[in-house]
Structure 1
Amino acid sequence: MENKPTTERSSNYDHLENMSTQELLTNINKEDKTVPQAIEEQLPAIEELVDVIVARMQEGGRLFYIGAGTSGRLGVLDASECPPTFGVSEDWVIGLIAGGDHALRHAVENAEDDLEQAWKDLEKFHITKKDVLVGIAASGTTPYVIGGVKRAREEGIATGCITCNDSSPLAAAVEFPVEVVVGPEFVTGSTRMKAGTAQKLVLNMISTSSLIKMGRVKGNKMVDMQLSNKKLVNRGIKMIMEELKIEEEEAAKLLEKYKSVRNVLRNFESKN
């Protein structure tokens, strides 16, 4: 076995340029199928992290993600989807990427190599002991992320991570590590593939589970979603029709009046 971190080991496949389109797709899919199993092995660790996040949120705390490159983009993506999905304020789940928002679309040279910058970025949001910080790095060696979680832990802030290598410096630096070891990438070292998929799935689990436990879902419905377009308005109308057993026209009027599905259902329950 190569003496390299798992994410940097040689692909299980070679001569990719000689494969047919069908072979490429089949083999990439074969590798992707291994990701959920790797996550399943980490469910107890993810559970610990979620429970800490919920406990801090119940005390008024927030969830922060920090990362660089693909990992940073995934954290920003997950954070940005929480307000429209769960109706939470934009400062409840916050994603930060090395190099700032410019790095979402462009590579920022050396941004991930600065041990001090993450804490400077976090200080702008007045991070406190009530909050939780999750560092995201497939390699588990990104200085920006490691520097951020180390300083946060020194300040008494709960820290977790999502990484795809065993026994990484990042996992050693946090209290609640999640290590999803997915093996070598189809294209050697291209952690935007399996590692990125694993990180995205874990982030989905963390934010969704935390906000469900914070009461932002009723039954199985996104009753607090922001009604920011026609599709979501129509989804809200259908939720109300289903819950209250009423016709579409009445449901639409109620949603227009009360501005959210939750408000409609709360108003109905208070009258019955």
Structure 2
Amino acid sequence: MTDRVYPSSKVATNGAANGTTATTTAANPTATKPQPLRQPYRPQPQYRHRRNRRSNRSLCCCFCFWSILIFLIVALLAAIAGTALYVLYRPHRPEFTVTALKIGKLNLTDNPDGASSHLVTRFNVTIAPKNPNNHLSFAYDSFALTLSAANNDVVLGNGSIPAFFSDTKNFTSFRSIITTASDLDLESVKSLRSDLKRKGGVPMKLRMDTKVKVTVGGKLKSNKVGIRVTCQQIRGVAPKGKSPSVASVADSHCKVDLRIKIWRWTF
């Protein structure tokens, strides 16, 4: 029996494979390359903004530091200058005294409507300002005088004193007429009638407002500042007949206060 020879399948397969590969390579000579993947957008850190913020903060800190330092230096220099002026000139506030007060008229009559009363007054007051300083002089504007009842602030009259200059160690005296003719409400009338019945008389308060300019040593001049002089412990009774009554001013005392105005507020 003759042996049959079969072709090797392995060789045929390899050849077919090689032929297929070659054919594929020849058929696609320009194959497209795969595109790289696009990376997601990531914002870069803003180093410039951080640097700007840090620089702004440092500038603010430097500005605050120097401002506070300059303020402290100015305050220290002002304190030193004020102390030196006080030691050299020994400044004192001006003094005021009510030396006399005569009541010429103090009438309170009811109006026909019964809802109010009419007040008519006339006072003659003598005021003595004094400058106790050796190196300070005062230039006063005109004074606005207001006399009122001390317990209820009912205004009893208004007057004025002309402007004047008070030199060092100066003592002078002024007279002023204080009058009013006004209507009072029921509450004010009731309070004033109660004061008129007092045995010791009506307690009164005299208020004087003005502005003053201070001259130190004859050379250094200040700006005008407001002052208020308040005199209390004054008592007087309504006159009987045509003769004026004399108020008691022996125990009166006057206090001088500075009045500083900042925008709408006065202190």
Name which one, 1 or 2, has greater alpha-carbon Rg: 2
TM-score after normalising by structure 1:
0.19
* Structure 1 or 2: more helix by fraction: 1
The structure carrying a bigger strand percent of its residues is 2
TM-score (norm 2): 0.19
Query: Comparing both chains, which one has the higher relative contact order based on Cα–Cα distances under 8 Å and sequence gaps of 6 or more?
Result: 1
